[in-house]
Amino acid sequence: MTPDNISFELSLGEMASGARVNRVRAPNGPRNSGGRAAQFTVMFLEDTRLAIGLTVESPSFSPEEISASLIGVFEVHFLQDLQEMAEHKSQHYVPRSYLARFCAETADPQQEPYVWVFSREKGRVFRRSPKKTATRSYYYSFTSDEGQLDHEIEEHLGVVESKAASIIDRLVAGGSPEVLTPDDRANLSYFIAYMGHRVPSFRSHWEEQLGKIGEMMGKTAASNKDYFHRFITEHMEKGDIESDIDVEELREFILSDKYELRGHPFQSLRLMVELTKTVAEIVFSFQWRLLRNATSFPLFTSDAPLSLVTTEKLLPPFNLGVGWRSPFMEALLPLSPTTALMISQHHPEGQESATPRQVLEANLRTQAYAQNEVYSSSPNIGAHLQLPRDWQWWVPLSSEVDPELED
């Protein structure tokens, strides 16, 4: 008998506010004489509605009865999962509390706070609320061994952000790094390290690099025909690889350029967490200096807020990239339109008033490091977006440089 396809929309408000769904099964769903009838798929519509497609064989129920029964199934069996998904779907790779410090000033108290956004991709400036800025769905969630979405990393990042928020507020309000307690410094060091590792530019880079390593290893193995056939055959016998694969066809495919490998997102998540532990210790040990901006032009931030440059023109191979242990490295993290934190080993701790040149230099570094978007409290972002042809990016940002502090 031909199955009946039934579809309907279910307002989550009928069940619980702010619900979501991960995976749906209905072991106690509506039945008929032929067995289970509740085989259905779920699709999100906007923020508060679900579209449900249901296939029912030989139904002894009307569509209305099935719909009513399914609502009951959702309420009883899936409410907890739905609520959990609601809390974790939209995840900020630049913290919302951090972005809030860069919101534009407005005279209307009813106006939703917003930042001005310059998008390289779109080639224009527009405004957007921090809630909807720098987010991706389930960006830090991963599937556990039990097949469930695990939000442990997202929750961990929330704790890091919470601990850092009040410390940043004190620094923006006029506090000096010199008076931070060891606990304050440790908590902010973790936040700073994560600001360099949690963003898509970092994760995408390492997923691409891991993919290239995989391709290189695969081609190396496939270049030795006897070894490759023996290796694949052994794993077929163990059941690790499907036995109906044409080994030679697979070998030729691996040697071709008809594919591209990319590291699994979980690999970049693991690297993000592990590397942050090491970098946080380095950040903690370096010199911290605040740049105070009292000029008429605000400091920017971006979708990759933490920038690192070396303040010496290095010879190859040291000029191929900048790391925390690069000679004369200088890191910059804008904290607000009026405050930026400089981290290095060649300037003393403390704070200094920024000149217009320093503000321009800081903004040039920020936009050069951005993957796609630059954020500002002012719509006049364009004035600081053009990289000068003669830009000397290696010039130290701080006016107080003591080379003897460098290891």
Quick: pLDDT tens for 201-225: 999 999 999 999 999 999 999 999 9
Domain count for the chain, please give it.
1
Q: What is the pLDDT of residue 387?
A: 76
Report the distance separating Cα 373 and Cα 130, nearest Å: 13
What is the residue-wise DSSP string for 307-365?
Answer: EEEESS-PPTTGGG---TTSTTEEEEEEEETTEEEEEESSS-SEEEEPPHHHHHHHHHH
Q: Name the nearest CA neighbour of 303 among 1, 84, 92.
A: 92
CA 339 to chain centre: 24
Return the pLDDT at 34: 39
On whether residue 29 sits in a domain, the answer given is: yes
Picking from 317, 315, 354, 322, the residue whose alpha carbon sits closest to that of residue 338 is 354
**Cross-sheet strand order for the sheet of 39-45:** 4-11, 49-56, 39-45
In tens digits, what is the pLDDT along the chain, a chain of 407 residues? 344 443 433 333 333 333 333 333 333 333 333 333 334 344 433 333 344 444 444 345 454 554 444 444 444 334 445 445 556 688 999 999 999 999 998 878 888 999 999 999 998 999 999 999 999 999 999 888 888 889 999 999 999 999 999 999 999 999 999 999 999 999 999 999 999 999 999 999 999 999 999 999 999 999 999 999 999 999 899 888 888 889 999 999 999 988 889 999 999 999 999 999 999 999 999 999 999 999 999 999 999 999 999 887 666 655 556 889 887 899 999 999 999 999 999 889 999 999 999 999 999 999 989 999 999 999 988 767 777 777 777 788 887 776 565 54
Least Cα distance to 287 among 341, 334, 340, 349 occurs for 349
Residue 400 falls inside a structural domain: no
> Burial code of 335-348, b = ≥16 C-beta within 10 A, e = fewer?
bbbbbbbbbbbbbe
Residue 296: exposure state from Cβ atoms within 10 A (0-12, 13-18, ≥19):
exposed
- The whole-number pLDDT of residue 211 equals 92
Q: What DSSP state is assigned to residue 239?
A: T
Determine the pLDDT at residue 147.
Answer: 83
Q: Which residues contact 318 (CB under 8 A, 6 or more apart)?
A: 310, 326, 327
Beta strands in 87-141 (DSSP E): 90-92, 115-119, 124-128, 135-137
Write the CB contacts of 46 (distance below 8 Å, at least 6 apart in sequence): none
In a domain, 159, yes or no: no
Cα–Cα distance, 403 to 407 (Å, whole number): 9
Q: How far apart are the first and last CA of the chain?
A: 80
Q: Residue 200 domain-assigned?
A: no
Residue 335 is assigned to a structural domain of this protein: no
pLDDT for the residue numbered 79: 41
Task: Quote the pLDDT of residue 87.
Answer: 63
Q: Is residue 54 part of a domain?
A: yes
pLDDT recorded at residue 317: 57
The pTM of the full predicted model, rounded to 2 decimals, is: 0.76
Is 60 among the domain residues?
yes
Does a structural domain hold residue 253? no
Structural domain of residue 15, as residue ranges? Answer: 4-88
